[in-house]
Structure formats: structure tokens, C-alpha cells
Amino acid sequence: MRNIKIGLILKLSIALCFSLSTVAFSHTFWLNATDYFPEIYSPEYGARTKVYFGWGHGYPVADFLLAEELSEFRLIPPKGESEPIKPGVGGFLATELSFSEKGTHIVAASLKPGFYTMYLEKGQIHHRSVPKTGLNGVILSLHFEQYAKALINVAGSSGAFCKPVGHTLEIIPLLNPAECKVGDYLPVQVLFKGRPARFCPVYGTYAGFSTGDDFAFVTTADGQGKAKIRILHHGPWLIKAKVKLPAPDKLRNKCNELSYTATLTFEVK
């Protein structure tokens, strides 16, 4: 009997540790670009880059993403209206973009909202993209929304870099990262439903820092939803912000939490 109790305690302890790890480092969604500073070499050819999706636990690429999982994929030029983008074919949905207008372009994307539940059954941990309804031994269950943006500076930069795109959770740079050098601090504003995301965690890392879930810099937004990310290295960067809330009454039979994640990618020369 004692051995059975010890075994159960060990299994529950492992489940709890795994739960905390998963909550802290669940799948993240972001955008990459082959060139964040494309040049316009001729009016006919224009400037070009390819954007592709990151999804998982390792920046800059990890798992594959299906096109049908996207709810939004669009380009916001320095002037004018946003334009929908058709994702490319392939595991990372690599998509070629061409530009004729100088300035900062924003590529924006979002995932279709969904549920994720982790639960313990017969001593085994299970992960399912479903609500917790009808499941026993629930360790965590959440409803998630994920948003991503990338800044592409075409033959120079413009004030468009700080233009909100309307995501529920959004990271807005208050300085164009194209103007940053190693050692600088990049100020950002985090908005949640159009209002400052007060005291939310903000993470930053650069390509090559880690092949796992580690971030090079971690901070917390202040009471105005503002934070500063120390630029520690040149090259592509990923900034992530998270907001978690208890599930409202109407969703408590389906999940325990609401989870929102936003990412911003760019390059520092």
C-alpha cells in the first residue's frame, strides 16, 4: 500500500512539474523573413523577401504549421490599406512577397483560436486540442489566441512601424528596431484589447541564442504596458508577450484559463 501511495505521489509530482513547464513554454507562433531589409534595385523588379512561419519551441524554426490553422495573414504597407496574403505551400508555408513602395511594411498573422487540455489518465499524461468537458484528471486546460507580426524595412524605414494592426494582444515598437544597435534598449508598448497590458511578462531572444525555449532577456511591462528589451546581439530577433486570465463563467465548463500570446520579429544590423 505504501509503495502504491509513493508511486501515485511521484506520478502526480511529475505531472505537476510537466504542467508548470508546459504552461511556461507552450507552443509559440511567430513569423520569420529571409530578408528584413530588402532593397529596391529597379522599379520593375522591386524588393523581395520570403516570410515563413515559426511554430513550436525553438526559434527560428521548429514544428510545421498547416495553412488551415491560420485565421489571418496580411501585409500592411506604409500607406494604404492592408492586403491579404495567400500562404505558400510547404511545411513552413514560405511565401514570397514583393514591394514597390519604400518604408516599413508590417506582416501580420494570427491563428484560429482553440482549446488545449492536458490531463492524467491511468498514470499517463495526455495532450489534446479539445475543451476539458468530460475529461477527468485535468492538469491544465486553456482557450488560446496567438498573434504574430514581422517588420520589413524596404529601402529605409518609416513611421508605419508603430501602426497598430488591431490584434487582441499586440506588441508595438516605440522605436524602429532598424535604428537599434547592440547594447541599446528597444522600447515597446504592449496592448491588450487596445489598452495597455499592465505588468505582463515580455521576453526577447535572438537567432542562435538557444535551440530550445530559453530567452536571452526577460522583463515585465510597467503600469502603462511599456517595457524595454536590451538588444544583446545583432541579427533576427523575437519578442513575445503573454497575458493569462481566469476563464469567464461561460467557459468554465470548457477551460480554466484564457491564454493570449503575441510575437514581434525584426532584425538588428
pLDDT value of position 40: 87
Residue 3 falls inside a structural domain: no
* pLDDT for residue 51: 98
Residue 2 lies in a domain: no
**Which residues of the chain are modeled with pLDDT < 70?**
1-26
Residue 28 lies in a domain: yes
| C-alpha distance from residue 134 to each of 131, 219, 254 (Å) | 9, 38, 9
At 21 the pLDDT is: 37
- Burial of 11-44, coded b for 16+ CB within 10 Å and e otherwise, reads eeeebeebeeebbeebbbbbbbbebbbbebeeee
- pLDDT at position 27: 85
Dist CA 239 CA 149 (whole Å): 10
Q: Which of 97, 267, 87, 92 is nearest to 182 (CA)?
A: 267
Residue-level pLDDT at 42 = 72
Q: What is the pLDDT of residue 45?
A: 77
Cell of 68: 488551415
Q: How many domains does the chain have?
A: 1
The torsion angles phi and psi of 47, rounded to 5 degrees, stand at -110, 150
| Confidence (pLDDT) at 23 | 37
0.75 exceeded by pTM: yes
> Which residues are within 8 A (CB) of 120 and not within 5 positions of it... i.e. 6 or more apart?
11, 12, 15, 126, 137, 139
CA distances from 188 to 72, 117, 173, 177 (A): 23, 32, 4, 10
Per-residue model confidence (pLDDT) at position 17: 42
Residue 130 in any domain: the answer is: yes
Tell whether 245 is covered by a domain: yes
Measure the CA–CA gap between 120 and 143, rounded to whole angstroms: 19
Q: Looking at the domain assignment, is residue 4 inside a domain?
A: no
Task: Return the pLDDT at 90.
Answer: 82
Tell me if 19 is assigned to some domain: yes
**For position 259, what pLDDT does the model report?**
97
What pLDDT is stored for residue 245 in this prediction? 97
pLDDT of residue 160: 86
Task: Count how many Cα atoms sit within 13 Å of the Cα of residue 17 in the half-sphere of its side chain.
Answer: 6
Q: Is residue 1 part of a domain?
A: no
Would you state the pLDDT for residue 76?
A: 96
- The domain containing residue 142 runs over which residues? 9-268
Phi, psi angle pair for 16, to nearest 5°: -65, -45
